[in-house]
Chain A
């Protein structure tokens, strides 16, 4: 009798452990980001934000408006935990392709998330498409990425199209108020990101029917040592508004050169890039006072949506910085993945792809309703706002629905 009790206890323990093992089942996600090379800083920030997102999904947090925060793991998959595996693209399309192949060959990941630059997202997503493997793009903004007719590619972030449309709606608004905005200068790096941002601006100008004029078209080489010629070209064109598609290193160089060469303009507006790096405002101080840019997250949003404070604090504990738009897009991206895992009938690439295609995730992390993809895989529920640097902080200044502070116009009175 005593012996059989031992057997029952042993059996119970085995069952308990096996159920724990089942509950602790893991779903691996491969993430392609630049963790070395010139864009390491951006890549490390993205790594931190994905780790925070995984912590929220795998743990239990009371965050309003964020599905999968309260539950532990993926509810419909027995509480399976999300495990992140990072692959270093070094910011290079070639290395990115090789790392994608490696992730696919290893075979343990159920989904690929990547990449930071559009120029890397493009070839890496082709590799995934060729292997019929789902690819979720967090932050790359080139509109062309979702114009390729890919079946396994989905993007959460707004594109250059959304940003350019927002910029020109804003400029229309300024024009109605009698402000000078007609003469536009466009400055962009000669990469996938910059060139497509430029094309979108050109389209918006063409659509305006003569309301705007492109007075300077200034491409420049990524990793520039100086930008004097570029800035003097802009200065000679006397623009009312300068629009930038520029990453951090060159953005600081441009800002300093504008100041050094006495360039005056009404507004300096940036696509998603160096402007959004919080260090741009904190380290350059007065030099960048009044600069504006697209923004899917600013500290200001916390006063509009208090539940974001908790996420911001978790991110700040890891990086020492506040969340910015790009980081918030990354954060939201992992929740889209969690939602797809939850709804997919199994964890095969096709089932996850089908689940992504039918996403309708209402999540209150960014402007807009949440995430829903169109036939091309582009999120159509996302919106963007315009922020301005005021005394070293990013303040949302447009549209009124989101703004918390009055805008400074012109940027240098």
Chain B
């Protein structure tokens, strides 16, 4: 067994795992604060990728430069989702909100399908796309390396925001006990809205980077969403650090396990790992 192949497997697993992490962090943030599983999360990712692609295609704006705009746009999409989809069903059984996001997911996907068509789109001439760094037989795709770094930075920024800022404390307080937070004068609706915005902004970052190495099409979000639901559960619902580490773990299991046991089993391995973990720790690796 060639050592460089093994190292390459670990590097590739880490790089893609970090992208999974960021998508899952957005998802777990919303769950942790609001107890709502956002089924439209993958579609937010798709919207971010489509916006990035269109900015590149129509205005020649490289995905790396359009990234801040996409993050802001997704943040507002998150706010709007809360205002018009989630807020009206707050206070009703959780299943209603879950079904509302499920409906939103179908709506977004079909609107994109209707207005933009089903075609696959690929960006291949951006600053990051198709470029590779090579050291001692190891290859680092510039687009994946940048995506991984971006995801680490975004997750760290979220972590700092939650642990150091006043709003972060309000958010954590709301996550712990919504009613008591309300009694303490915290505007929980505002916290919920901003949480949805932040969750969507996370996939904005992930989508803005993914577009450099992944085809864009209306169904693209689904491919990632299912894996990210597993990551969120594996890391512990609502636990940001858990989702971050579980994403990396899933990336590594997929790559290293897939190579040694067989690529056709790489997703099976992830689900087996998930089943083992929840049978021993039903609240996930870092759940409490």
Contact = CB atoms under 8 A, between A and B. Distances in A.
A41 interface: yes
A357 B135 CA distance: 61
A253 B16 contact: no
Contacts of A283: 120-122, 124
A285 B126 CA distance: 12
Interface stretch (B88-96, B154-162, B170-178, B255-263): B255-263
Given A225-B223, A226-B12, A229-B255, 14 more contacts: A218-B263, A220-B263, A226-B16, A229-B257, A229-B266, A230-B263, A232-B12, A235-B5, A252-B215, A253-B215, A256-B141, A261-B8, A261-B12, A283-B121
A262 interface: yes
A5 interface: no
Nearest to A249: B215
Given A224-B223, A249-B217, A260-B132, A40 B264 contact: no
A interface, by DSSP: helix, strand, loop or mixed?
helix
Contacts, number: 117
Given A40-B118, A44-B117, A262-B134, A190 B259 contact: no
11 contacts: A40-B118, A41-B117, A225-B224, A225-B227, A230-B258, A232-B255, A248-B215, A252-B215, A261-B141, A284-B122, A286-B130
B120 A249 contact: yes
A279 B121 CA distance: 8
A236 B2 contact: yes
Q: 6 nearest interchain CB pairs?
A: A40-B118, A229-B258, A260-B141, A228-B12, A283-B122, A41-B118
B219 interface: yes
B214 interface: yes
Contacts of B12: 226, 228-229, 232, 261
Nearest to A252: B215
B222 A232 contact: no
A285 B118 contact: no
Given A225-B16, A225-B227, A283-B121, A253 B130 contact: no
Interface string A169-183: 000000000000000
B125 A277 contact: no
Contacts of B222: 38, 223
Contacts of B130: 256, 259, 286-287
Interface in B3-20: 5, 8-9, 12-13, 16, 20
Nearest to A247: B120
Contacts of B122: 252, 279, 283-284
B182 interface: no
Given A248-B215, A260-B144, A285 B259 contact: no
Nearest to B120: A248
Interface in A182-227: 190, 218-221, 223-227
A95 to B, nearest CB: 15
Contacts of A369: none
A41 B16 contact: no
B213 A232 contact: no
B139 interface: yes
B interface, by DSSP: helix, strand, loop or mixed?
helix
Contacts of A284: 122, 124
A228 B213 contact: no
Given A220-B263, A253-B215, A229 B254 contact: yes
Given A248-B120, A259-B130, A223 B223 contact: yes
Contacts of B139: 260-262
A249 B217 CA distance: 9
A229 B213 contact: no
A225 B139 CA distance: 19
Interface in B181-239: 213-215, 217-220, 222-224, 227
Contacts of A40: 113, 118, 218
Contacts of B266: 221, 229
Contacts of B279: none
B117 A219 contact: no
Contacts of B5: 232, 235-236
A36 B227 CA distance: 22
Contacts of A65: none
Given A37-B219, A262-B139, A285-B125, A228 B120 contact: no
A252 B130 CA distance: 12
Nearest to B12: A228
A53 B119 CA distance: 22
Interface in B248-288: 254-259, 262-264, 266-267
A233 interface: yes
A260 B213 contact: yes
Nearest to A219: B264
Contacts of A235: 5
A287 B117 CA distance: 25
Nearest to A189: B264
A262 B132 contact: yes
B124 A285 contact: yes
Contacts of A232: 5, 8-9, 12, 255, 259
Nearest to B11: A228
A398 to B, nearest CB: 27
A229 B141 CA distance: 15
A284 B123 CA distance: 8
A261 B113 CA distance: 33
B214 A253 contact: yes
Contacts of A190: 264
Contacts of A262: 132, 134, 139
A221 B264 contact: yes
B264 A220 contact: yes
A37 B113 CA distance: 9
**Most A CB within 10 A of own CB, among B5, B217, B227, B266:** B266
B124 A287 contact: yes
A267 B134 CA distance: 23
Contacts of A41: 117-120, 217
A358 B180 CA distance: 80
B137 to A, nearest CB: 8
Interface in B61-91: none
